[in-house]
Structures are given as structure tokens and as C-alpha cells.
Structure 1
């Protein structure tokens, strides 16, 4: 039996053949390969040209979409498309920022209302709607109310925030019995003046007679006759001395029932204050320290003695 001969070797193609096989072998399919047609680019026209039927070369006539009835794209079309795009973009921005814009509007409205409220309140406060119509004076006992009202009459008709404190002070300084004062504005039309009067503690002998003074040595009144309800004060070196300051502190802290019993108070130093009662009894008070305890000890001491030493309230000496 005879063997078949070997297959003939594959033929090699020319290297210049564009359809040559990569390995240099002849393809089994000898059908020529097709390439996509190359279309010319035209400004303002369609980008492609109709290819010939069957995928061949372009037609000889070079017909384009414009030839088929398509309109060229001009600057008006571009402007309209740009405007439509901007409108769509703004619409999306408004949709996504609606919450933040609503929150911002709430804040703006709240701040505006608060600002209007503050401006309205300040404007009303400085307007005649809150002018002073009544001045009420409290705390006076020895000072004439009518004289005080007359001295403060210039403040009537002024808005409460515009009451001149310097003028009020200048008017009240003329009353020596006033120790301190406070002002209170009570809208819409009331001005309250609270006064603390000076407390007289005794009288001192002078060339003009007798002068009533308080614990600070302020002269409250002067006259030729000695007031019966005030003790006579005898302090070495006068009203500006440490001895008078100690006497003033002692007499000011005395209870009313004990103060009414004192006829005279004398001292040469701050530590040897001595009180003389109306019945001639002498009380060695000492310094102004623990004056309340000393007064309690004096009230608890037995009667019938002409001398009491309460300088040490823990141990009272009598004689």
C-alpha cells in the first residue's frame, strides 16, 4: 500500500502585501479585508458623508447630511443651548439649596425683628411717653418734703433715661441732714428718691452756742439753746480728733433707751470714752469695740451704784 505524499508547504506572501498574515503565512480565507471609508471634515456641516451602498468607497457625488435637508448649526443655536443649560443649572442649584436659603431667611427675619424691637424700645424710652411726671421721696423724717420737691422740680418733664444725676446731687447737697440717697426710675412716669438722713449723736459747745453734729462731725444745726435730747460731747482736739471719732461710734451704736440716758460723753483718747448719765452716774466705756455687748452688760448691771466699768464686757466693775 502506498503512503500519501506530504502536504505542500504554505506559500509565503510578499511583505508589501497589506493583507499579509502576521506570521507570514497565507490566510485560509482569501477574501480581501475591508476598511472604513475616510470622510472629509467640513466646518458648519455634518461630520460624516454618506458612504456608498454596501460599505464601499464614498459616492462620487460626495452627498452629505446637509444635502439631505439638515440645517447648519449657527451661533443662535449655540446661544439658545447655552441659555437652556444655564436655566437648568440654576434650577438645580435652587432645588438643592432651598433648605439653606430658608434657614437664612429665618435668621434674617429674626435678627430684623430683634433690631426693630431694640430700636423701638430705645426710641420710646427717650420719648415723652416715659417722661417724669411724679417725684416720690422716701425715708425723710426731719427734712421738709415740700423743700425737696421744689429742689427737684427741674427733673419733671424729662425722659427717665435723661434724668441728670449731677443736678439731683447738686440739689440734695444743700440739705445737710441727707447722708446718702438713691434714685429709682419706675416707668412710665415715676422717679423714686430714697433718702437716708444723718443721725445726730450730740451737741458740741461753740462760740455761737450749741451745734448739733452726727458721728462724722457734720454740722446739722446750730442754736443758742442746748437740745435736751442730745448729750453734750467733750472731745480733746475737736471734731477732727480720734477721740471724737470714738465717741461718735459709741453714741451711734447705743440703743435708743440707753442713748436717752446719756447727758454727757467725754474722751481724751480713743480708749477712754466715758459716759455721764442724767442722774450723775459715770460709765467707763473704754474703746468703741464691742459697744453692743457693753450696752447689754450695762443694762444687766445692778442698780444703785454711781460708777460702772464696762470696758471689759465679760467682767463688769461697779463702785
Structure 2
């Protein structure tokens, strides 16, 4: 059997031995790269196949890099990838590549891996830049909201103030309307406080027409008229106690002494108003002996001024006050001693001198104390 002859100019290959029992006539095979020589260029189909394999390798490397983040591939994975790449580069039935081609493929694979790594790093930088941009936008929006809130704070406070004023005004209107047009605040009880000599029943009886009226609509003029009808009332005040009570607080006139009268004595206050008339004097209040026995005389006014300037302890010891003129006031104490006071001027000095005289010369040891000239006081 003749050996197959190759194309002219190429070395003849050795016959291949088959392990089969009955060798089959082999089909003519295309010349391998080894037969053509190591310096021969690959065919167009091989170049296309190599480009497709490199493209698949780049895609698989980029996908593996994106899944494993920035962790570099392990040597074992690189080796297995390289073996798979080498396995996929050679088609079925193709002759084995030479060492130079394998080195070229390994270099291309390493370059592809580095490019994939660089691409992944750039993607990470882009992601980091986008994240920082989002944070900056969020911070800017928060800053703008804070600035708007700060610059509009006075407007919010103004709205709150106006809302409070409006709410208070509406509440007052509602309260007034309820009090004036409903029986919720109707007057049902009248209480008079501070009345000792003043007949409280007469004041309450005078205010009966005001019952069942709303408290805001009670006629204060009628209340004043009912209270001023009592001569012993010096002053008064009213307090409305919701829902149904009106309190009238009166201040009675305080008696200061007696004036003689045809039927006995009349009790008067410092203003000369008659409080009551009695046949006898009550101990503790002095008798005024003035010109005309009238509270309208000038002597009575001078005597009141002297009494108001006396200490409380000394005023309680008075039995009679004689004031014929404004400059001649004489005090008679309960023990019978006389104090020649003179006029109401220099009252503070006269009180100090009289207190010293009473301490040095108690009542009963002397009969007269003359302090009309306090710098030259005399006792007799």
C-alpha cells in the first residue's frame, strides 16, 4: 500500500497506527500546523474562532468580576478558566497548538482579566460618585428646608398668635351669649357681707327685682341705690360668683365718739355722720365738747385730727375731748388727768414728749400735762 503524498514542498508525515483490529482506510486529512511549520499563520476560520473565544472570555471575566466585587480571582479559578479557554479555543478534530500560540492566548487572557478589573474599578468609582451625588442632593434639600423653616418661623408664630386671639375672642363671645340669653347664669342668691349694724335684710329686699336676671345684666345702679340708702355703710363692692350668686361686701362706718343731744347722745364717725342715737354712752368712746355741739364745727375737725395722731394705747384712755377752738384742744383721760394739747401741729413731737411724761409721771401722780409747747413741756 502506498503512502499518501502531501502537497509538494512539505515534509511527509509518518503513518498513524491505529489500535483497531481491522484498520479502515483513513480519509485524507488537511495538513496540520505542525506540517505547515510553526511560522505559518492560522487560517481565517481559526482566527474567527479565536476572536469569538476571546470575546466570550471577556464577557465571562466581566460577569465573574461584577459578581465577586473587587476580590481578585484565585489562582485555581484562573487556572481552571485558562484550561477551559484553552479547551474551547481548539475545535474538535483540530490539531494541537504550538507553545507560542498558547503563550499568546495566555497573554491575551491576562490582558482581558486586567481590563475587566479596570472596568470594574471604574464602575465602582461611578457608583461611589453617584452615591456621593445623591447624598449631596439630599443634604442640599435638607438645608433648604431648614432655611425655609427658619425664615418662615415668624410667620408661623404670627399665625399662632392670631389664631389664639381669634379663639379667645370667639370663646368670650360664646360665654357672653350663653350668659346673657340663657338661664344658666341667672341670679338666684344675694349675700351681704360685713354688715354688723347695717340691716342686711333691707339691702336684700331692695334687690329682689334683680332676681332671675343673668349675672352680666344685673343693674348695678339698683345695687348702688339699695346700699347707699343705709347711712351706716361707708363703702361697698360687689362680686359676681357664677353661676347664681351676687355678693355685696359693705364697710360700715366706725364710730369715733359721742356728741350731746336732747335725747341723750348721738354716735358719730370721723366724718360727723350720725350712726345711732342712744340714751347713754358706751364705754370706750370719748365725748366731744365742741362749739354748738355740732359735728360741722371747726373744733370738731381739730379734735378728730388730734385723735387720729394719738397712739392706739393713748386713744383708748380718752374720756372726753374739749375743742372750743382749733388751737385749744384739751384731752381728759379716764383717770381724770388733763392733757393740754393745743393745736394739731407738731403732733409727732407732742406724742413723744407726752409718752415720756406719762412714763416719768403716771396718771394719778399728777393732774395736768401741758405739751402745747413740746420743747417746754410742763406737768402739774
TM-score, with normalisation over the residues of structure 2? 0.49
Of 269, 272, 277, which aligns to 1:222? 277
Partner of 1:281: 337
Cα deviations across residues 94-145 of structure 1 (Å, max 9, x unaligned)? xxxxxxxxx9xx79x9486555333212212324222333333333333344
Check 1:117–1:213 CA distance in 2 against 1; reply closer, same or farther (3 A cut): same
CA distance in 2, matches of 1:259, 1:144: 29
For residues 1-319 of structure 1, the aligned pairs below 5 Å read 110=163, 113=167, 116-126=170-180, 127-237=182-292, 238-289=294-345, 291=347, 294-295=350-351, 297-300=353-356, 301=358, 302-303=361-362, 304-311=365-372, 316-319=377-380
Q: Return the structure number with greater helix share.
A: 2
Q: Is the 8 A contact 1:234 1:265 kept in 2?
A: yes
Q: CA deviation at 1:273?
A: 1.4
Q: Is the 8 A contact 1:215 1:249 kept in 2?
A: no
Q: Is the 8 A contact 1:214 1:248 kept in 2?
A: no
CA distance in 2, matches of 1:132, 1:177: 26
Q: CA deviation at 1:240?
A: 1.2
TM-score, with normalisation over the residues of structure 1? 0.57
Q: Which stretches in structure 2 are left out of the alignment for 5+ residues?
A: 1-155
Check 1:115–1:197 CA distance in 2 against 1; reply closer, same or farther (3 A cut): closer
Q: Is the 8 A contact 1:258 1:295 kept in 2?
A: no
Count of residue pairs brought into register by the alignment: 216
Q: CA deviation at 1:291?
A: 4.6
Cα deviations across residues 206-264 of structure 1 (Å, max 9, x unaligned)? 22321111111111111333333322111124321221111123334545543332111
- SS state at 1:200 partner: coil
CA distance in 1, matches of 2:312, 2:206: 32
Check 1:159–1:318 CA distance in 2 against 1; reply closer, same or farther (3 A cut): farther
- SS state at 2:259 partner: strand
CA distance in 1, matches of 2:234, 2:349: 27
Q: Is the 8 A contact 1:215 1:252 kept in 2?
A: no
CA distance in 2, matches of 1:129, 1:294: 62
CA distance in 2, matches of 1:157, 1:293: 59
Q: CA deviation at 1:198?
A: 0.9
